[in-house]
Chain A
């Protein structure tokens, strides 16, 4: 089975621009989550989607948004980029479980640099 794929792998943007990152989950997984990883703050949860609905959201400003399509692929968007948005953005997918968050399988990430 193919793993989680993320595109692009690297991105350089200018402050004030917007960016869209893409994630394709493991086949059969309907849950997709996004995380931000920075040296200072570590790994932080952005949001989770399941069957095209946002089920959960972390503590990030409204400039961060996402969506999920009917084929479970997901995109996240960051508008009005700030220097502090430079980070590794990780996407994870997981199978449905009866209860609780399932095991999350992570993609290789998109390295975003804001200049």
Chain B
């Protein structure tokens, strides 16, 4: 069965530091999608990225970057030059694509609480 592990429960850094959030997944399928979401104190989940299992290219979006490595089943997320507004809980998630088609719902990790101190 699919599983997502975010081993870091809480990370605290000082503003302007770089920080990496780890995500390790388990899946039986060869086709799957990986996601990252941000949940700020307001509570609403904000979509950050969707990546399919055949695309191992790293992605950069402003201060955010993602490193996908199938060999280690990891999809890590790095924030460069962190800001106080980055403080939130970050979730990594997986959706498998069964051989018969369709798509499974998101399986979420437990989340990493990121605290950026001014």
Chain A residues with CB under 8 Å of chain B are 33, 35, 42-48, 55-56, 58, 88, 90, 92, 99-109
B118 at the interface (CB under 8 A from A): no
CB contacts between A and B, total, < 8 Å: 68
Contact B105 A33 (CB under 8 A): yes
CB contacts (< 8 Å) of A47 on chain B: these are 105
Contact A56 B44 (CB under 8 A): no
Q: How far is the CA of A55 from the CA of B97 in the complex (A)?
A: 13
Q: How far is the CA of A43 from the CA of B102 in the complex (A)?
A: 21
Contact A55 B44 (CB under 8 A): no
Q: How far is the CA of A80 from the CA of B93 in the complex (A)?
A: 30
Stretch at the interface among B19-27, B57-65, B107-115: B107-115
Q: How far is the CA of A44 from the CA of B110 in the complex (A)?
A: 10
Q: How far is the CA of A67 from the CA of B44 in the complex (A)?
A: 23
B50, B97, B104, B106: the one within 8 Å of A35 (CB): B106
B11 at the interface (CB under 8 A from A): no
Contact A104 B52 (CB under 8 A): no
Contact B50 A103 (CB under 8 A): yes
CB contacts (< 8 Å) of B109 on chain A: these are 42
Contact A100 B35 (CB under 8 A): no
CB contacts (< 8 Å) of B95 on chain A: these are 100-101
Q: How far is the CA of A33 from the CA of B97 in the complex (A)?
A: 16
CB contacts (< 8 Å) of A103 on chain B: these are 35, 47, 50
Q: List the 4 closest pairs (A to B, CB-CB), nearest first.
A: A45-B105, A106-B45, A101-B95, A101-B103
Q: How far is the CA of A108 from the CA of B44 in the complex (A)?
A: 5
Contact B44 A106 (CB under 8 A): yes
Q: Tell me the nearest residue of chain B to A3, going by C-beta.
A: B44
Sample of 6 further A-B pairs with CB below 8 A, known A43-B111, A56-B103, A100-B97: A33-B106, A43-B106, A56-B102, A101-B33, A108-B42, A109-B44
Q: Tell me the nearest residue of chain B to A88, going by C-beta.
A: B43
CB contacts (< 8 Å) of A42 on chain B: these are 108-111
CB contacts (< 8 Å) of B30 on chain A: these are none
CB contacts (< 8 Å) of B44 on chain A: these are 106-109
